[in-house]
Amino acid sequence: MSALLTFELALCLSDRLFVYSSSTSISFFSLSTGSPQTMCPEDTLISSALLRPRRITPENNTMTPLPDTVDTQDTMKQFLSDRIMKAAKALYSALIERSPGLIRDRKHHLRTHRLCCSGKELVDWLIRLNEGSQSRSQAVGIWQVLVDEGILIHVKQELNFQDRDTQFYRFTDMEFDLSQSAEEKDSKEEELQESLSLLGQMGPDALLTMILRKPPNQRSAEDLEVIYEELMHIKAAAHLSTSVRKELAAVVAFESHNKAGTVLFSQGDKGTSWYIIWKGSVNVITHGKGLVTTLHEGEDFGQLALVNDAPRAATIIMREDNCHFLRVDKQDFIRILKDVEANTVRLEEHGKAVLVLEKSSGLELTNQSGAGGSSKYTVMSGTPEKILEHLLDTVKLDTNGSEPIDPSVSDFLLTHQVFIPSTQLCTALLNHYYAEPSEGSELEKAAYALNTKQKIVKLVVQWVSLYGLSLTDNPSVVAFLESLRKVVASESRLYAMLREQLKERRKKMLDNCHQPCVKQHDELDWFLGYESPVGKCRAIKVNDKVLHEIFRPDHTFVCLMLPVNSSVRDIMEAMTSSSGGNILVKMNSSGDREQLKLEARAVSTSLGLNERLFLCSASQVDKLTPLKEQLGPELNSMDTLEQMCAKDIASQLTSYDWELFTAMHETELLYYVFGRDKFPNTTTANLERFMRRFNEVQYWVVTELCLCVELAKRAALLKKFIKIATVLKEQKNVNSFLAVMFGLTNSAVTRLYKTWERVPNKTRRIFTTYERILDPARNHRAYRLAVAKLSPPYIPFMPLILKDMTFIHEGNKNYTNTLVNFEKMRMIARTMKIVTDCRSQPYSVPSSPQKGLTERMFLDTPAIRLSTYSDQSLTLRSTSNIRHYVQNLKVIDNQRKLTQMSRDIEH
């Protein structure tokens, strides 16, 4: 895997690293060994973490290990509680001021409840307050946060908030100081919006906990959908089939333990339940070995005893206070096993299974990527030929062949290169196209043949739509498309159908602001409308030549134009002036060196931030020193940044990011995760360029702040970066928004206490709200919930998409019993389609975002007065200059150096 991933698969929360590596253990819940639903590596049912025992030393060889008291955790909890209390005060103040009649005496069942509100009225009021932008369930979640904190109390002390007229709540008897100064009154609306934002972020967790507390037989259909969505993002259950997750949602129970050291069960006990850690961590203890491993959030344990009807193999002890679990009891576990088997259909030929199908539920049909899902059976595994044959049967035709195609077909097309190369797919499609039925009348045979040909044509149009011009890189595919075009042109009905489909596709492309073609095209041109727009960032194709800069130990260099996939051997041979015995080394700004193997390919485009290639002898490797340009700038660009508006900088960042994002094809994710060995004649250069941009923006923020010596200017710059993050978020550029945020949470920046003290309180509150999105807990649930509210177009957080795909790939085999594991392919394709969906609408970067949070935060402190503009500042503020600046950021990426610089400016 490329060394480019300085951050790509290591999501850096300042110095709190959320690290992904290929050796990270991944545990899965598998319902049946050897069944199509088996997703567990090596068919094991016990958490793979148990298979990685760490070395036991006398210091940790104890049967009941207890954690040390961590004051920082208590401090953080208290800090959060204080923020919730402050938010509750703002909400209560608004309630008293705007709807004082809601709090009154209530009579119900001959009893009077003093000074309270009904649950339904509270929900109605909150929805009106947000002008209808919240659903009832979201409003319930906000009130549940206050119930959990003891701020809002049910008159009968019930723990679950209920959206009913007959359920009454009152605010706790603590003192709310509603007296406000004139300054406080001016900012109370802003504080109310910030409070709603905080509570809105916490609401989904509170709502889910409330739902899980309910007995399974009291859960509504909406409750089950909430649990189902959560299971999709829990490591132990994320990759189960839809039907299994649906059944789990109906039976999973909530269990919590408050004290560290509590024994959940002991080795030798009878197995009664399967557990998923929802919050906290546990220690796994075995007799004779002591502490074997520690399991964390999202991991699971306890399946083995249920499947084998055997005693518990280990003791489980709470490692920390307040641990929460999702529990599936044995009887439900066994029933789900039986249901899965009952819904499985196996098709055999010559005594061997060739296709395994699972009966689809109504929920699955609606969740298969929207419209077009029509098959009553879902492919779980099969031979490539049989999967293709089954999917062709699902393709439905109307008079012009424009009905949406089944999502499983696009899943197949996006991932087919894993199990059937494009050349073989072309051959298989031609075989189906020319196949003739052996039975039936001549009329029936002709109708069947025409139907099959129409399906093939429709599938190929979908294939071209998904891949675009990248298909032209494969000569066999180009030849196939040309031969198919000719035979289709000779049959009038097929010709008319294909013409209509291509016409409809071109219309959609024009609607999405693709540039119309200026030259004349054949009506049956497969790639009509796919010309790259002029002036945009050009996609790097597999046959393109790119610049290779090769440096010598004395820092002189040679520039070579070589194919993007050139190997190290190719580069060495191109260096005709070099003598034998040399090696190629890549070195970063810290001086870390790595010798590259002769077989390594695409080394130029996979270089990390500030990495360079050096040609030297083996004896010179230790003497290599980084180039001056690798070390980064010595002076900051504060003078330039002062003349640029934060909105303009953010807009140009987004504009450039969108160009990089759209230049990348979804299949590059597949090539990157599965590796170049699997796909030698492909390129991931565009994806790596986009990923490198994330690191560049992140370190740009840290570099500029650490190079700014003056405290006042540094504080102004810090505030400007927070404003840039705000605008990026408004523009739905999530990738750069998080890059800026990771830069601001880098330890070299967070330790600048004097600088942060000068940032206005309201700006710091906004920053703190944004920090919650960075929280990696529960598989980055805060981020996923935030993104779920976005509609396309938007630029997603690419490192997490790559992490999800890597997790799916490494945790699931490509084949099960020699059959293609199509359930894995479906999960891979679903992740790839996130990128497709993000780009499904045209994007126009606003030159000036609508007034909103940004204006409220910064209206009082304009960066530059109009009267102070000089000719130079006006020039610097021009769009072309700002664009040039953001495309050529100079950064320091040596964390040790940045930390030292931070200490130098603030001891």
The C-alpha atoms of residue 452 and residue 430 are separated, in whole angstroms, by: 11
Quick one: average pLDDT of 594-618? 94
- Res. 420: pLDDT tops 50: yes
Query: Residue 232: its pLDDT value, please?
Result: 80
Average pLDDT, whole number, for the chain? 82
- Res. 785: pLDDT tops 90: no
- What proportion of the chain, given as a percentage, has pLDDT over 70? 80
Question: Dihedral (C-alpha) 865, 871, 876, 881: value to the nearest 10 degrees?
Answer: 140
Q: In 3-state terms, what secondary structure has residue 172?
A: coil
Highest mean pLDDT among 39-53, 628-642, 864-878: 628-642
Query: Residue 292: its pLDDT value, please?
Result: 94
State pLDDT tens for residues 624-657: 999 999 999 999 999 999 999 999 999 999 999 9
Quick one: average pLDDT of 480-486? 93
Cβ-contact 167, 160 below 8 angstroms: no
Helix (H) or strand (E) holding 265: strand 263-265
Query: Residue 177: its pLDDT value, please?
Result: 55
Query: Residue 14: its pLDDT value, please?
Result: 33
Query: Residue 512: its pLDDT value, please?
Result: 59
Quick one: average pLDDT of 212-234? 87
Query: Residue 28: its pLDDT value, please?
Result: 29
The answer to which of 436-440, 473-477, 561-565 has the lowest mean pLDDT is: 436-440
Residue in the structure block whose two tokens are 């140009």? 652
The C-alpha atoms of residue 563 and residue 545 are separated, in whole angstroms, by: 4
- Res. 843: pLDDT tops 90: no
Cβ-contact 173, 231 below 8 angstroms: no
- Res. 722: pLDDT tops 60: yes
The C-alpha atoms of residue 152 and residue 362 are separated, in whole angstroms, by: 39
Higher pLDDT, 527 or 744: 744
Residue in the structure block whose two tokens are 């509590």? 262
State pLDDT tens for residues 56-107: 333 333 333 333 333 445 665 676 788 889 899 889 989 998 998 999 999 9
Backbone region of residue 309 per phi and psi (left: phi > 0; alpha: psi in -120 to 50; beta: other values)? left
Q: Which residues contact 781 (CB under 8 A, 6 or more apart)?
A: 204, 205, 233, 775
Cβ-contact 415, 823 below 8 angstroms: no
Query: Residue 34: its pLDDT value, please?
Result: 34
Half-sphere exposure of 361 (CA within 13 A, CB side): 13
Helix (H) or strand (E) holding 326: strand 323-329
Quick one: average pLDDT of 148-158? 92
**Among 719, 877, 732, residue whose Cα is nearest residue 791:** 732
Query: Residue 861: its pLDDT value, please?
Result: 38
Higher pLDDT, 804 or 33: 804
> pLDDT confidence of 363, banded at 50, 70, 90?
very low
State pLDDT tens for residues 539-583: 999 999 999 999 999 999 999 999 999 999 999 999 866 667 899
> pLDDT confidence of 372, banded at 50, 70, 90?
very low
The C-alpha atoms of residue 601 and residue 685 are separated, in whole angstroms, by: 11
State pLDDT tens for residues 495-538: 888 888 887 777 776 665 544 444 445 567 788 767 655 557 88
- Res. 43: pLDDT tops 60: no
> pLDDT confidence of 334, banded at 50, 70, 90?
very high
Query: Residue 185: its pLDDT value, please?
Result: 62
State pLDDT tens for residues 387-408: 999 999 988 876 444 456 788 9
Structural tokens at position 613: 């290639």
**Among 710, 767, 713, residue whose Cα is nearest residue 743:** 767
- CB burial readout 140-161, b (16+ within 10 A) else e: bbbbbbbbbbebbbbeeeeebb
Quick one: average pLDDT of 740-762? 95
Structural tokens at position 870: 């000089």
- Res. 867: pLDDT tops 60: no
Query: Residue 330: its pLDDT value, please?
Result: 94
- Res. 725: pLDDT tops 60: yes
State pLDDT tens for residues 263-296: 999 999 999 999 999 999 999 999 989 999 999 9
Highest mean pLDDT among 125-139, 221-235, 301-315, 370-384: 301-315
Query: Residue 868: its pLDDT value, please?
Result: 36
Query: Residue 54: its pLDDT value, please?
Result: 31
DSSP secondary structure of 734-755:
HHHHHHHHHHHTSHHHHT-HHH
